[in-house]
Structure 1
Amino acid sequence: MFLQSPSLSDGTPRSVITGPLRGCVGSLDGACIEKLLLHCATAIETNDVTLAQQVMWVLNNVASPIGDSNQRLASWFLRALVSRSSRVCHTTMNSDGGSAFPRRLMTVTELAGYVDLIPWHRFGFSASNSAIFDAVRGYPKVHILDFSITHCMQWPTLIDALAKRAEGPPSVRITVPVFRPPVPPLLNVSTAEVGHRLANFAKFRDVPFEFRMIGDDRFKSLSSHLTRSELDLGDHEALVINCQNWLRYLSDETKWSSGTKDPSLRDTFLDIIKNLNPRIVVVVDEDCNLSDSSLASRITTCFNYLWIPFDALETFLPKDSCQRLEYETDIGHKIENIVGLDGFQRIERLESGAKLSQRMKNAGFFGVRFREETVNEVKSLLDEHASGWGMKKEEVMLVLTWKGHSSVFASAWVSTEPDIS
């Protein structure tokens, strides 16, 4: 399947598998698969080609892209380890270097179905839009600076809510960067076309609307556009900064320059947006720490975390569902980046909600608690999905859970201390 090598069932002597690995042959237990993955990673890191091949042969018997959730998850980790081994060990292992199910550009309709499949994205949309709606109450103008990877899919719901506002709808401007991390989901229409469709929707709802793109296809040039003058911010305009699955793609590495420690790109970005004095900043991302330099740590954390969407999809989609395969493929690309790559090639650098909250506080932001109305809206959304989904409140965060395991966090922040009187 992944390696052009004989598997154990095809004649490889079981004697090559020794010690703790022997008990894992044929097992589908998640803990045993995790153990095999760690043994394989250790072999690769120590350039033990023989052991790496042996463990991969065992994994090849267990992994299957159309098996149960553990088998499907294992298949993507195996692919990532094969990719890593081909560079680190300089082995002759054969791998096609690509994905079993290549990325496909989605239509807007398909993207809507993708977002609706599980509440992974809709949870953040619902919590963020409710917090934004509250923050811009009474403002005649709203300017949303949107940093996200979901092609503005959250905004029709907010535009619709603003259209029904008791005091009348505000004028809405949405500004998006031309730069977008090269990650799924991918769309078959341009960002300009997305803006045009949003404008048509806003016109239908009688909401004055403007859509603008800034910068170019490089993130480093974006900072020069993030000034009040470049953004043409008005005195009576409520600035909203939306970060949905975005901060993880900004490097958190720091460098020493002239005897001083330079801030990371992530911290620099937060300093820039704080200086814009936004009315509110909403930050939504996956609640997991995957920025560790240790490969073993990343594998353990990633395996136990990304089990969540694989298990959730298992509950309601058949094994051969094309929709399921495509969704899992997008997760697989993330695994390939987290496990297979290092240095600046590894762009998936998640940090947990707790770590992100501390980073926001260090940057001078103050957390805003979500109102009960927001909590109830999110709970209503989750009622539309499988019973395994739930929500918990942690300090200033709302956290989406699957069977009690944290998956996605939503948080709201302001640049000056809120008045709680």
Structure 2
Amino acid sequence: LSLSLSLHMDMRAEMRGSPPISLPTPALFNTPQGSFSGALKGCLGSLDGACTEKLLLHCASALESNDVTFAQQVMWVLNNVAASTGDPNQRLTSWLLRALVSRASRAYPHATAFHGAASPGAGRPMSVTELAAFVDLLPWHRFGFSAANGAICRAVRGRKRVHILDFSITHCMQWPTLIDELAKRAEGAPSVRITVPDGRPPVPPLLNVSIEEVGFRLAKFAHSREVPFEFHVMKTTTTPARHGDGAPSDTSQLPYPWFSSCHLDPSLLDLREDEALVVNCQNWLRYLPGEGGRGTRTTSDLTSKDGFIEMIRGLNPRIVTVVDEDADLDSPSLSSRITACFNYLWIPFDVLETFLPKDSSLRDEQEAGVGQKIENVVGLDGPQRVERAEPGERVARRMKRAGFCGVPFGEETQEEVKQLLDEHAGGWGMKREDEHRHLVLTWKGHHVVFASAWVPR
């Protein structure tokens, strides 16, 4: 392998934030793919997005066809385009390149050119204060919180008891605002019961306290607002990644092990007839595959999107809120996933460029979280690939097949969301998708996150 030492050193330098390396002799490209290499040389040093995407797709194609030598050559070219401290396009390319190198190192362990280029970890557990700052930095999460809370308040109006079944990755950061809003009801606050699973996807943000501690803090807050409150953690039998944990344990041979053994039924949830049941899914469905993790699907199989949704329908909730990233990252094709990453995940890099300096540690941490997502989407396959986002319209079709119908968000909720976005950079916006009654968070007109509300038919 002609590039073993060269590419290894170049990638190590790039990940230290050094400028792209200078180009050596073009004789490097004297291979059987000469005409193809000639096309690639036209991209050397170019920062054009279309050219960069072309190079990334060539690399993916080479890896999928087991052309190791050509994959190395394309990576070398990409390393001269990417820069971990460059503009948003260069930073995104740097992370995509790292993911491709990581993928190649697993597929070809004896090709030393691929070693030493794993992505830096983004799994540092945060304090509660740090998590609040993380959530507040961008409207990525707050948009969904605000839209869902508005729909929930409207759905439980007049009800004296509310039970929220919460599937989310942000450690209950959504609920203080809702509790505060319910405390202001003219007819008096309802009692609120929140149930959460103790398993969660092994993804950022991680928290350095247990979910039980989170519940204790929520209870104190609810007490301060004079809202009767209960908090329950629903135990699962397989929970390698838990709220408050650092890195997940080695469960790579298990299908979606973070939640594979929990089958919800009324006895687990302690459902009560006098309660209005709310099911909240915030950035949760994307961590379930379209089909069951075991290759088959049943209505009780929570390792598939359809099985999970059908299970929720069986609980006959008063309302279901579904919020997730409006992207298609679940294609079986590596090339399609790279295209989707390139055309969606430029957004956080572009957003952060607008208001944080390049040497900001906060920016580095945010970008590392995006990098971990890229590493999962591009670098992994099978049960290890847990990032499986779908566009909102595809999720809507799943919800309708399961027996739900969409409900529109009220004008008051839409105004609250707009006020939230006014607190952030000018590129953020909101649009209504009337066909499915979604609200969509946008950045410079591009879809970012969708929010939806559903009731049983």
Shift of 1:113: 0.7
**Corresponding residue SS for 1:284:** strand
**Equivalent position to 1:245, from 265, 271, 283:** 283
Cα distance in 2 for partners of 1:313, 1:348 equals 22
- Specify the alignment match of 2:25 in structure 1: 13
Instruction: Sort the Cα spacing of 1:314 and 1:122 in 2 relative to 1 into closer, same or farther, 3 A.
Output: same
Shift of 1:406: 0.3
Shift of 1:324: 0.5
Cα distance in 2 for partners of 1:134, 1:262 equals 33
Shift of 1:410: 0.2
- Specify the alignment match of 1:175 in structure 2: 195
Cα distance in 2 for partners of 1:150, 1:373 equals 25
* Equivalenced residues, count: 412
Cα distance in 1 for partners of 2:440, 2:146 equals 12
Moved more, 9-18 or 27-36: 9-18
Corresponding position: 1:380 with 2:419? yes
- Specify the alignment match of 2:64 in structure 1: 45
Q: Any conservation in 1 of the 2:166–2:194 contact (CA below 8 Å)?
A: yes
Cα distance in 2 for partners of 1:342, 1:229 equals 35
* Deviations 1:274-293, CA, capped at 9 Å, x for gaps: 11110100000000111110
**Equivalent position to 1:76, from 87, 95, 113:** 95
- Specify the alignment match of 2:381 in structure 1: 342
**Corresponding residue SS for 2:106:** helix
**Equivalent position to 2:230, from 183, 191, 210:** 210
Cα distance in 1 for partners of 2:56, 2:430 equals 31
- Specify the alignment match of 1:412 in structure 2: 453
Corresponding position: 1:221 with 2:261? yes
- Specify the alignment match of 1:419 in structure 2: none
**Corresponding residue SS for 2:51:** helix
**Equivalent position to 2:144, from 107, 119, 124:** 124
**Corresponding residue SS for 1:324:** helix
- Specify the alignment match of 2:127 in structure 1: 107
Cα distance in 2 for partners of 1:41, 1:305 equals 18
- Specify the alignment match of 1:27 in structure 2: 46
Shift of 1:22: 1.1
* TM-score (normalised: structure 1): 0.93
* TM-score (normalised: structure 2): 0.86
Instruction: Sort the Cα spacing of 1:397 and 1:355 in 2 relative to 1 into closer, same or farther, 3 A.
Output: same
Instruction: Sort the Cα spacing of 1:350 and 1:11 in 2 relative to 1 into closer, same or farther, 3 A.
Output: closer
Matches within 5 A, 1:53-72: 53-72=72-91
Shift of 1:102: 4.5
**Corresponding residue SS for 2:77:** helix
**Equivalent position to 1:354, from 376, 379, 393:** 393
**Corresponding residue SS for 1:74:** helix
Q: Any conservation in 2 of the 1:3–1:95 contact (CA below 8 Å)?
A: no
Cα distance in 1 for partners of 2:105, 2:327 equals 28
Identity, % of aligned pairs?
64
- Specify the alignment match of 1:318 in structure 2: 357
**Corresponding residue SS for 1:315:** helix
Q: Any conservation in 2 of the 1:38–1:296 contact (CA below 8 Å)?
A: yes
**Corresponding residue SS for 1:93:** helix
Shift of 1:265: 2.0
Shift of 1:96: 2.9
* Deviations 1:140-189, CA, capped at 9 Å, x for gaps: 00100000000000100000000001100000000000110100001111
Q: Any conservation in 1 of the 2:168–2:282 contact (CA below 8 Å)?
A: yes
Moved more, 231-240 or 347-356: 231-240
Corresponding position: 1:271 with 2:310? yes
Moved more, 80-89 or 350-359: 80-89
Instruction: Sort the Cα spacing of 1:78 and 1:187 in 2 relative to 1 into closer, same or farther, 3 A.
Output: same
Taking only aligned residues, the RMSD between alpha carbons, in angstroms, comes to 2.0
Any stretches of 5+ residues in structure 1 without a counterpart? 417-421
Cα distance in 2 for partners of 1:222, 1:36 equals 42
Shift of 1:100: 3.1
Shift of 1:20: 2.1
Instruction: Sort the Cα spacing of 1:255 and 1:308 in 2 relative to 1 into closer, same or farther, 3 A.
Output: closer
Q: Any conservation in 1 of the 2:122–2:369 contact (CA below 8 Å)?
A: no
**Corresponding residue SS for 2:279:** strand
Corresponding position: 1:4 with 2:8? yes
Shift of 1:9: 4.4
- Specify the alignment match of 2:32 in structure 1: none
Q: Any conservation in 2 of the 1:175–1:212 contact (CA below 8 Å)?
A: yes
Instruction: Sort the Cα spacing of 1:160 and 1:50 in 2 relative to 1 into closer, same or farther, 3 A.
Output: same
Any stretches of 5+ residues in structure 2 without a counterpart? 12-19, 30-36, 240-257
- Specify the alignment match of 1:367 in structure 2: 406
| Residue identity opposite 1:282 in structure 2 | T
Corresponding position: 1:398 with 2:439? yes
- Specify the alignment match of 1:157 in structure 2: 177
Q: Any conservation in 1 of the 2:125–2:207 contact (CA below 8 Å)?
A: yes
| Residue identity opposite 1:303 in structure 2 | F
Instruction: Sort the Cα spacing of 1:302 and 1:2 in 2 relative to 1 into closer, same or farther, 3 A.
Output: farther
Cα distance in 1 for partners of 2:294, 2:85 equals 47
Shift of 1:205: 0.7
Shift of 1:50: 1.5
